[in-house]
Structure 1
Amino acid sequence: MSNKEYDEAKVMLEAMINDSPEDPVINYHCAAVNDALGYETKAIPYYRRALENGVSGDLREAAYIQLGSSYRCIGEYDFAGEVLEKGLSEFPENPAMKVFYNMTLYNKGDHKKAFTNMLADLVSGSSEEWIRKYEKALRFYSEDVDKVWR
């Protein structure tokens, strides 16, 4: 969609939210359109209401990712981490959510944990021949990436 189309959708969705302020799906879409336009701060309350009011399925999964990402974008790393941890408790296998969570860990200064998590996720989620070839070593190193043998 173009920015003009997002702007048009935003106007329509804002009218809909006035009629149904608690509707989780409308809240999600209000958040997503604001997010797409670069208005992360405006998107956040809509994402929160969507989750609080029971948005479900793929939209719930996306709401956790996008809310966490929005908090991360504005530098609210603690909130981002909390949202993404909660999302991962509901959707523990979501690879995108794991990546956003690990980026948040990195932003919070927990570089080692972010890296080791990403390495472990890469190894477990890859069918790439070279990753599979070195899987055992990569898993071993992911447990203690700083260890040195002399």
Structure 2
Amino acid sequence: MNSDRERDADLARAIRLREQGRAAEARERLSALAERHPQDAEVAYQTAWTHDVLGLEREAVPFYEQALSRPGLTEEDRHGAFLGLGSTYRVLGRHEESLRTLRRGLDEFPHDPALQAFLAMALYNNGEGREAVRTLLKVLTATSDDQRMQAYRPAIEHYADDLDGTH
């Protein structure tokens, strides 16, 4: 039990450091914590996130992968891990892996607008511009509170599926 409390306190301190803009210090603490708790999904996720904050995308990937391959993440953190890993793969030019990860995220979180927006970017980077635009138009109509957007929602959604306007 003492070890669990110590882990929780160490993790909370590291997260606080990252939130205070002291990500390099947080990275040091989280890397050490990840070594002590290699099966801990939450530690892996927080370590990945901190590497991402520092622009260390390549180093973040294995931690995201570990986090998603183990039980123990909250729903919010699991969502964040899919988003983080999918986005990181995209930034690294690993577009197929990005698409696969973001689609896995959408399997668990259907219709999530953030995952859909990142999927649209990955689709674009993968040369699938038409699907990217379709996805963004559907996200826009589903999430906009703008009265004009909602008035034209049926038409926009129709044309999202028929971008050339042939039907």
Q: With structure 1 as the length reference, what TM-score do the two structures score?
A: 0.93
Letter in 1 for 2:45: Y
Q: Deviation string for 1:52-111 (max 9, x for gaps)?
A: 012231000000000000000010000000000101000113211110011101111111
Structure 1 unpaired stretches of 5+ = none
- The answer for the alignment partner of 1:46 in structure 2 is 63
Structure 2 unpaired stretches of 5+ = 1-18
Taking the aligned partners of 2:74 and 2:47, their CA distance within structure 1 comes to: 16
Taking the aligned partners of 1:75 and 1:11, their CA distance within structure 2 comes to: 27
Kindly indicate whether residue 140 of structure 2 is the aligned counterpart of residue 102 of structure 1.
no
SS in 1 for 2:55: coil
State the identity %. Answer: 32
Aligned-pair Cα RMSD in Å: 1.4
- The answer for the alignment partner of 2:85 in structure 1 is 67
Taking the aligned partners of 1:123 and 1:135, their CA distance within structure 2 comes to: 6
Instruction: Map residues 1-150 of structure 1 onto 2, 5 A cutoff.
Output: 1=19, 5-54=22-71, 55-147=73-165
Deviates further, 50-59 or 63-72: 50-59
Letter in 1 for 2:110: P
Taking the aligned partners of 2:64 and 2:157, their CA distance within structure 1 comes to: 36
Following superposition, the deviation at residue 13 of structure 1 comes to 0.8
Q: With structure 2 as the length reference, what TM-score do the two structures score?
A: 0.84
With a CA cutoff of 8 Å and minimum separation of 6, indicate the structure with the bigger relative contact order: 1
Q: Deviation string for 1:19-59 (max 9, x for gaps)?
A: 11110000001100000000000000000000101223100
Taking the aligned partners of 2:133 and 2:154, their CA distance within structure 1 comes to: 17
Following superposition, the deviation at residue 17 of structure 1 comes to 1.0
Taking the aligned partners of 2:34 and 2:139, their CA distance within structure 1 comes to: 38
Taking the aligned partners of 2:92 and 2:125, their CA distance within structure 1 comes to: 11
Give the paired residue count. 148
Taking the aligned partners of 2:104 and 2:154, their CA distance within structure 1 comes to: 30
